[in-house]
Amino acid sequence: MATTPSKVEEVRAAVNQDRRRTIHNLCAEVGIGYGSCQRILTEQLNMHRIAAKFVPRVLTQDQKESRVAICQELKETVINNPTLLLNVITGDESIVYVYDPETKLQSSQWKSPASPRPKKACMQKSKLKTMLICFFDQEGIVHRESVPPGMTVNADFYCDVLRSVHENVRCKRPQKWQNQKLIIHHDNALAHRSFKVS
């Protein structure tokens, strides 16, 4: 009796108004039982509850259109100049731990019915860590460097890193160095955007 078309529409309207509502809240608002509300959601409205997906940023429509335009422009540039990507050297930083605990999958092993279940101690990530800066191109790693403990990556430090990158390009990629058409690609961290660096 509770799953009448009018109750289905009430549940649909309540969910559309706030998609985070729980079944208990919907039951109280619409005036039906938990089981009936659950059947309406899953069978009548074909809905199921899912967690929100993490994304790096929530972009506006203008930002999305701007990114699409830039990507199309880059695509056309690469089509017109197929050797462009050969001149790109990408740099990025990452935190590296002394050790990482094994994942559940990594520690799995075959077990027969008679053998005891394997055990492992619970481990946290190492407290000792360092920042690794790495520059690479299509041929492989050009330069890598660890940031000394306690050091902050600022414009002065990053300029020293770029000097080392240039020296390594001269030694490891002599043809690229002679062409002088290198494109250093890095993200928009404060140290990278400094006037000194540019």
How does DSSP assign 28-78, residue by residue?
HHHT--HHHHHHIIIIIS-----PPPP-S----HHHHHHHHHHHHHHHHHH
Mean pLDDT of the chain: 83
Least reliable range by pLDDT among 75-79, 119-123, 166-170 = 119-123
The pLDDT assigned to 21 comes to: 86
User: Sheet containing 88-97: which strands, arranged edge to edge?
Assistant: 140-147, 129-137, 88-97, 183-185
Q: Which fold has domain 81-101+124-198?
A: Nucleotidyltransferase; domain 5 (3.30.420)
pLDDT tens-digit profile of 115-155?
677 776 665 666 677 889 999 998 899 999 988 887 888 88
Contact present, 41 and 15 (Cβ < 8 Å): yes
Domain boundaries, the chain: 1-62, 81-101+124-198
Residue 157: name the closest of 139, 180, 131, 137 by CA. 131
Cα–Cα distance for residue pair 155/162, rounded to 1 Å: 10
Query: What are the φ and ψ backbone dihedral angles of 12, each rounded to 5 degrees?
Result: -60, -45
pTM of the model as a whole: 0.54
Q: What is the CA radius of gyration of the chain?
A: 28
Any idea what DSSP says for residue 53? P
pLDDT tens-digit profile of 107-117?
676 666 776 77
How would residue 75 be classed by pLDDT, with cut points 50, 70 and 90?
very high
In terms of average pLDDT, the best of 1-5, 100-104, 127-131, 184-188 is 184-188
pLDDT(80) > 90? yes
Cα–Cα distance for residue pair 33/35, rounded to 1 Å: 6
Average pLDDT over residues 52-67: 84
Pairing of strands 88-97, 183-185: parallel
